[in-house]
Structure formats: C-alpha cells, structure tokens
C-alpha cells in the first residue's frame, strides 16, 4: 500500500503522456520526481498540475537529458518505481535516423542503468505500437498483439525503428543483469494518444485534432489510427507499476480504431455548431504525397496511407480489468481542452 512516502521517477516529465502519469500518481498519493531538460517548462507544468490536484510538496524536478549521464543517479536516489516515458518524437522524417534512434536506445539504457544502481524495484517503459506493427508482410488482415515485433531491418520509419530498438535493448539489459541487481521491467505499447491537454504542450497525435479544428489541412488523409485516451494510458502505467503479475510483460494500450475521416465527422458533429468548420472530406493518397513535398510533417504518414491495422488489448483487460474510453469521448475531450487552453 502507498504510504505517501514512496517516490516514483517519471522521465520526460513535460511530455503529454508523462504529464498525465504524474497527475495520476499525485492523485494516488505518491511523491513524484520528474526529469526534464527544461527547468522553465517543468515550472509551467507544476503550475498546471497545482490547479488540478494538491501537490503538498510531493512534486520535484531534476534536470536530465537522455543523451547525457548527468542527473540520472540524482533522479533515482531513493525511488521505488520508475516510469520511463521520455523518448524523441520527430515532427518530420530526419535526414539521419540516428538522431532519433540514438537518444531513444541509449537514453533507455541510461535510465535502466541508473535505476539498477539505485535499487529501483520496477521500471515501466513507455514503448509504442510502433515497436509492434511495422515491417510485416500481409499485415492488413492481422490483429496484432504483444507477441508481435516490428522488423527494423525492413523499410520502416526512424521513429518506428527507434521504439523497436529501444524496447529490445531494455529487455536485453534486464535479462543480463546479475540476480542481485535484477529489477522488474514492464512495457506499455500505446497507440495514437489523444485526450485533454493540461497546458500549452500539444503532442503529435493531438496535433491532428488541432489541425482539423483549425482547418489547417485540405481534407482527411486515408489514415487509420488505433486510438487511446491519455488518461487511460496513464492509468495503465500506474496499474503496471503496482500489479505483481505484470512483471516481465508488455501490454498493448489501445482502444477503438478510426479513420481520420471518422474523427473529422465526430468533431464536425460536436464542434461544427459552435463555428468550427472541420474538413470532412477524404483526400486521395496522391494529394497527400503532393502536400508532403511542402509539409515535412506529412511525410511521416505516407507509408501508412490506406493501411488499416487492428490491435488487441485483451492482455491488459485480462490482467488489470482495464477498459479504454471510446473514440467519441476521446475526441470531444481533446477538442474541448484545446479550446479551453486557447490552442484553437
């Protein structure tokens, strides 16, 4: 039972998922030590969280970078659990894939090394469906589960490769630890994460909703997304941290799937009467390729156009009783928070 004195380290504290993990932990009574590269952003987050739950001196920050050794041992001191959420997410395909792969893989090993030295009991690693569903042949008819791995030897994106290699490295690291230094590892593999923002930071996935509400795109690409609410992602992280039988397992963290056109129609039904002119027509793939010549962020989705993918979260439901929210609730909550924070 949590006594209010147990310390949980959350890496990449100012990121979208990490913010909600911290909120969930604070509400559960834990002390939280977040790591951040930017002290200024950390202070903004602290102010945002203080409006939502009492902090009572239970939130602190340590400056640490995935590509630097400094700060990690300080961050881990006295901690029982670690949620390693930090990982680089490119806003466009990088010229050199190692710009994304190196900090993801080496940063994961830095965190695990520091956690092991500090005697941390369990690390929950935030991976992704990007480490599961890419590089497969004939994947259109398959329902992916935790037994599946993306193939980094195939022509997959830098982000997908980084998440795959980082997660593989984590499992290998823990397996090689001497028994007296062994820590427990649990991995969470979320889909496309939407839901309410807590401040000014908008992640890549929420950016899709923002662009639809601001009519910043000519229409809806034929992109199929496995959606999950960030609040459900945070809840699953805490369940994975505290449930004994979760040790040594990975868990898909996905809910309903939807095409972008379906998302646009939900937004149009709810926000259209309030003056938001959501583009509710689907655009052909060739037009997305043309747009990608000028909009680098559009290049991230080119390989996924027209490809439906489905995932099973049966293991998470079986182990924790976890049930994700439906897409209507997710996208309405996302849109409402963007409006509330003046981001659209």
User: Catalytic residues, which ones?
Assistant: 163
CA 207 to centroid of chain Cα atoms: 14
DSSP string, 109-148: HHHHHHHHHTT-SEEEEE--GGGTSSS-SSGGG-EE-TT-
Handedness of CA 144, 147, 148, 149 (dihedral sign): positive
CA distances from residue 220 to 140, 192, 288 in whole angstroms, order as listed: 20, 16, 9
Instruction: Say if CB 112 and CB 170 are below 8 A apart.
Output: yes
Burial string for 75-99 (b: 16+ CB within 10 Å, else e) reads bbeebbbbbbbbbbbbeebbeebee
Q: State the Cα–Cα distance between residues 90 and 201, nearest whole angstrom.
A: 15
Q: State the Cα–Cα distance between residues 36 and 62, nearest whole angstrom.
A: 6
Question: Dmax over Cα atoms in the chain, in whole Å?
Answer: 62
DSSP string, 31-48: EEEEEES-HHHHHHHHHH
Q: State the Cα–Cα distance between residues 281 and 198, nearest whole angstrom.
A: 30
Neighbours of 32 (CB within 10 A): 25
Handedness of CA 302, 303, 308, 311 (dihedral sign): negative
Instruction: Say if CB 7 and CB 74 are below 8 A apart.
Output: no
- Reduced to 3 states (helix: H, G, I; strand: E, B; else coil), residue 107 is helix
């Amino acid at each position: 039972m949590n006594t209010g004195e147990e310390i949980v380290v959350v890496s990449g504290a100012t990121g979208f998922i990490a913010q909600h993990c911290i909120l969930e932990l604070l509400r559960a009574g834990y002390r939280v030590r977040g790591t951040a590269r930017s002290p200024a952003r950390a202070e903004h987050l602290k102010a945002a969280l203080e409006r939502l739950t009492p902090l009572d001196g239970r939130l602190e920050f340590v400056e640490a970078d995935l590509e630097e050794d400094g700060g990690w041992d300080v961050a881990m001191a006295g901690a029982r659990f670690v949620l390693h959420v930090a990982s680089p997410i490119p806003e466009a395909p990088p010229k050199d894939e190692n710009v994304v792969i190196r900090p993801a893989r080496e940063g994961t090993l830095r965190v695990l090394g520091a956690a092991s030295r500090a005697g941390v009991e369990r690390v929950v690693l935030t991976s992704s469906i990007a480490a599961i569903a890419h590089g497969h042949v004939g994947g259109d008819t398959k329902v992916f589960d935790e037994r599946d791995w993306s193939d980094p030897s195939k022509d997959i994106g830098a982000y997908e490769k980084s998440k795959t290699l980082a997660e593989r490295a984590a499992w290998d690291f823990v397996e090689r630890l001497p028994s007296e230094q062994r820590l427990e590892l649990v991995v969470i593999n979320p889909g496309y994460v939407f839901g309410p923002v807590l401040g000014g930071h908008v992640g890549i996935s929420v950016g899709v909703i923002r662009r639809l509400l601001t009519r910043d795109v000519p229409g809806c690409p034929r992109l199929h997304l496995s959606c999950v609410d960030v609040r459900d992602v945070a809840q699953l992280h805490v369940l994975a941290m505290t449930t004994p039988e979760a040790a040594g397992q990975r868990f898909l963290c996905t809910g309903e799937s939807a095409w972008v056109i379906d998302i646009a129609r939900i937004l149009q039904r709810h926000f259209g009467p309030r003056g938001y002119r959501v583009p509710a027509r689907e655009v052909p793939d060739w037009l997305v390729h043309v747009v990608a010549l000028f909009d680098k962020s559009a290049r991230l989705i080119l390989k996924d156009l027209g490809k439906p993918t489905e995932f099973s979260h049966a293991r998470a439901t079986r182990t924790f009783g976890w049930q994700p929210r439906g897409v209507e609730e997710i996208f309405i909550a996302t849109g409402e928070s963007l409006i509330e924070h003046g981001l659209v």
